[in-house]
């Protein structure tokens, strides 16, 4: 055996030895990423087999370099095959494990707590539905209102005493020449917005949040109102009363009567408070009606010509009625809820009772 043959034999053994350690390491790797680490360590650019090859190439005399290179390539090829087949094995193992997995359909599910609409939302939707039956469409407006929409156009000029009752939350405007801004104190500004936007006939119902300087068991600084407005040729107070009677009997129960008491609002003339017959005691007198047999539920009246003037309606041609009521108040009455603050406390023991 000549020198070059024995060097070749020695090199082949070195590669064999690397490959067998490589194979053992591959067998121990149980994930694809572990496999790749092993591959890099032996067959990668900086790997042991390539290093041995590079060393041998350097040491070999010129005529032997070709044979050395071939032996190295064979070893590297073998290394790739080992890697590839181990990778396939691993994937197959994983697939089998997936196929073996069984679903236990008898394990009890994790229950979800079902949500629901807040009682006030339910009642609002119901009221919208009742008025829809009479042809009223839902209209909404912003909670931050201009002085004009909230007061001025509703016949409450700057120093009108009726403002006192509602003098509440003003906002500083970025532009001092801008009309002052206020958290609306009632939903009546939606009357103005609607009439400025469209010609008669108008028939809207407008629910939404309003804000006042009030805070006790039956008053909250934030509460909701529902406004009604109907304008057309020949609308009379009889239409107002008929509409309210329909609403009261659909909402509080058939056969419940109502009465109109003269009242005052700057934007209606004549104006009235509406009382319904106490449905708890059937007018014999109880705590809810404070012994009177009647419960006050809303304010209303015929739209004042001064309001029509602000929105450009001809009050010789058109007439209309408006009314406004409190959503919380309606709800408390019907469900016998005594503390308004329960609506906003977010206590599930309360809200869950109304699903
Ligand atoms: N906006 C009045 C209030 O908040 C209620 C109302 C509305 C009265 C429409 C008459 C007409 O007290």
pLDDT of 303 reads 98
Q: How far apart are CA 108 and CA 50, in angstroms?
A: 57
Pairing of strands 319-326, 294-303: antiparallel
pLDDT digits over 296-328, tens only? 999 999 999 999 999 999 999 999 999 999 999
pLDDT of 232 reads 98
Can you give the residue ranges of every domain in the chain?
3-100, 119-354
Query: Please, what is the end-to-end C-alpha distance for the chain in angstroms?
Result: 97
Residue of the CA atom closest to atom 4 of ligand 1: 186
Phi/psi region, residue 224 (left: phi>0; alpha: psi -120 to 50; beta: rest), is beta
What atom of ligand 1 comes closest to residue 191's alpha carbon? 9
Strands laid side by side in the 222-232 sheet: 137-138, 202-211, 222-232, 319-326, 294-303, 268-277, 258-265
Please say if the pLDDT value at position 5 is more than 80. Answer: no
pLDDT of 180 reads 85
Residue of the CA atom closest to atom 7 of ligand 1: 324
CATH of the structural domain 119-354, one choice from 2.130.10.10, 3.20.170.30, 2.40.128.20, 3.30.930.10: 3.30.930.10
Arithmetic mean of pLDDT, 164-171: 78
Q: Which of 145, 182, 186 to mutate to test the pocket of ligand 1 (most atoms within 8 A of CB)?
A: 186
| Least confident span in 4-8, 85-89, 276-280 | 4-8
pLDDT of 1 reads 52
What's the pLDDT band for 71 if we cut at 50, 70, 90? Answer: confident
Q: Structure pTM?
A: 0.69
pLDDT digits over 267-305, tens only? 999 999 999 999 888 888 888 888 899 999 999 999 999
Please say if the pLDDT value at position 163 is more than 90. Answer: no
């Amino acid at each position: 055996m000549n020198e070059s043959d024995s060097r070749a034999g020695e090199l082949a053994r070195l590669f064999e030895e690397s490959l067998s350690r490589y194979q053992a390491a591959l067998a121990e790797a149980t994930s694809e990423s572990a496999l790749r680490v092993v591959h890099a360590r032996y067959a990668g650019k900086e790997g042991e087999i390539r290093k041995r090859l590079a060393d041998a190439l350097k040491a070999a005399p010129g005529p032997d370099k070709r044979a050395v290179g071939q032996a190295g390539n064979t070893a590297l090829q073998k290394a790739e095959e080992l890697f590839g087949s181990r990778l396939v094995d691993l994937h197959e193992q994983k697939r089998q494990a997936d196929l073996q997995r069984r679903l236990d359909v008898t394990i009890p599910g994790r229950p979800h707590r079902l949500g629901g609409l807040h009682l006030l939302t339910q009642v609002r939707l119901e009221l919208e539905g009742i008025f829809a039956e009479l042809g009223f469409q839902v209209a909404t407006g912003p909670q931050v209102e201009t002085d004009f929409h909230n007061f001025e156009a509703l016949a409450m000029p700057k120093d009108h005493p009726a403002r006192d009752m509602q003098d509440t939350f003003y906002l500083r405007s970025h532009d001092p020449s801008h009309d002052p801004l206020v958290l609306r104190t009632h939903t009546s500004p939606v009357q103005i917005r609607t009439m400025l936007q469209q010609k008669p006939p108008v028939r809207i119902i407008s629910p939404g949040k309003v804000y006042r300087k009030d805070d006790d068991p039956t008053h909250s600084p934030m509460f909701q109102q529902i406004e009604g407005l109907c304008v057309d040729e020949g609308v009379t107070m009889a239409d107002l009363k008929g509409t309210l009677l329909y609403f009261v009997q659909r909402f509080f129960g058939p056969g419940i009567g109502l009465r109109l008491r003269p009242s005052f609002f700057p934007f209606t003339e004549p104006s009235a408070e509406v009382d319904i017959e106490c449905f708890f005691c059937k007018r014999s007198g109880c705590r809810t009606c404070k012994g009177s047999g009647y419960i006050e539920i809303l304010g209303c009246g015929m739209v004042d010509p001064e309001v029509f003037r602000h929105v450009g309606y001809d009050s010789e041609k058109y007439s209309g009625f408006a009314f406004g009521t409190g959503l919380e108040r309606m709800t408390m009455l019907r469900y016998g809820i005594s503390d308004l603050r329960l609506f906003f406390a977010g206590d599930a023991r309360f809200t869950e009772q109304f699903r």
